């Protein structure tokens, strides 16, 4: 299955998936392109080092919305993309992309949705909110992405404990580790129908 990854930041989730493909644990999956709204994204750097096309597309490169949407669809077609993975992508995908790839766009969120999601729930904001709520559990959610932040149907979650003395950073690192272990398994299930 031909995959495009959308990422805005460091790209550790992208790297974790790539490692699983390289090690042979995740079969029949190929990352054909990495797309970022941030020209300095670590994810683009990782892609370049692995000879994967690394593409910067944003309001700066494409100030006209219609052209931006059209070129994004063309790009996905050019690489024969069948599955889209959002991995720390800070923007919503254009609705034309969401409808073209219905049930083929996944996102990972660093908390147990439907709580702790939405527009401003990203990065440390999420882990701060979890700690302030007094919840005893957190963990990543993989869900279908739609036109709203963090609202598509939930596919799979992993639970990690919230421990005494946790700071947002410590909890965030624990959740991120669980993300790396969860995302590729969901992809494996979609691509190969197996549940690792
Ligand atoms: C992850 O916590 C992910 O859940 C969220 O953004 C972060 C991306 O981290 N959507 P990375 O760029 O994959 O390291």
Per-residue b or e along 15-39, where b marks 16 or more CB atoms closer than 10 Å to that residue's CB: bbbbebbeeeebeebebbbbbbbbe
Atom of ligand 1 nearest to the CA of 13: 13
State the pLDDT confidence band at 168, using cuts at 50, 70 and 90: very high
Within 6 Å (CB) of ligand 1, which residues are found?
7, 9-13, 87-88, 108-110, 140, 176, 179
Query: Is residue 143 annotated as part of the catalytic site, yes or no?
Result: no
As a whole number, the mean pLDDT across the chain is: 96
Output the six-digit token pair for 107.
Answer: 């996102």
pTM, 2 dp = 0.96
Helix (H, G, I), strand (E, B) or coil at 106: strand
Per-residue pLDDT, 119: 87
**138 beta partners:** 160
pLDDT tens for each residue of 65-80: 999 999 999 999 999 9
Q: Whose CA is nearest to atom 9 of ligand 1?
A: 88
Distances (CA, A) of 36 to 17, 132, 141: 17, 32, 21
Residue 149 confidence class, pLDDT cut points 50, 70, 90: confident
Segment holding 85, helix H or strand E: strand 83-86
The string of pLDDT tens digits covering residues 119-128 is 899 999 999 9
Cβ neighbours for 131, distance < 8 A, ≥ 6 positions apart: 162, 166, 167, 168, 171
Q: What is the pLDDT of residues 7-50, one digit of tens each?
A: 999 999 999 999 999 999 999 999 999 999 999 999 999 999 99
Angle, helix 12-23 to helix 168-192, in steps of 10 degrees: 40
Atom of ligand 1 nearest to the CA of 89: 10
Q: If DSSP codes are grouped into helix, strand and coil, which group holds residue 127?
A: helix
What's the pLDDT score for residue 195? 59
């Amino acid at each position: 299955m031909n995959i495009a990854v959308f990422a805005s930041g460091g790209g550790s989730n992208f790297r974790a998936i790539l490692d699983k493909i390289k090690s042979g644990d995740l079969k029949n999956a190929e990352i054909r392109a990495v797309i970022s709204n941030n020209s300095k994204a670590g994810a683009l750097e990782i892609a370049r080092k692995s000879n994967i096309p690394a593409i910067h597309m944003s309001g700066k490169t494409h100030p006209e919305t219609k052209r931006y949407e059209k070129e994004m669809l063309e790009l996905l077609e050019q690489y024969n993309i069948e599955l889209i993975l959002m991995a720390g992508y800070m923007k919503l995908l254009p609705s034309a992309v969401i409808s073209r790839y219905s049930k083929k766009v996944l996102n990972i969120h660093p908390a147990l949705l439907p709580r702790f999601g939405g527009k401003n729930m990203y990065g440390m904001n999420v882990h701060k909110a979890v700690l302030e709520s007094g919840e005893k559990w957190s963990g990543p959610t993989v869900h279908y992405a739609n036109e709203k932040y963090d609202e598509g149907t939930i596919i799979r979650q992993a639970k990690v404990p919230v421990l005494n003395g946790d700071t947002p950073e410590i909890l965030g690192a624990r959740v991120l580790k669980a993300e790396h272990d969860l995302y590729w398994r969901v992809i494996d299930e979609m691509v190969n129908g197996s549940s690792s």
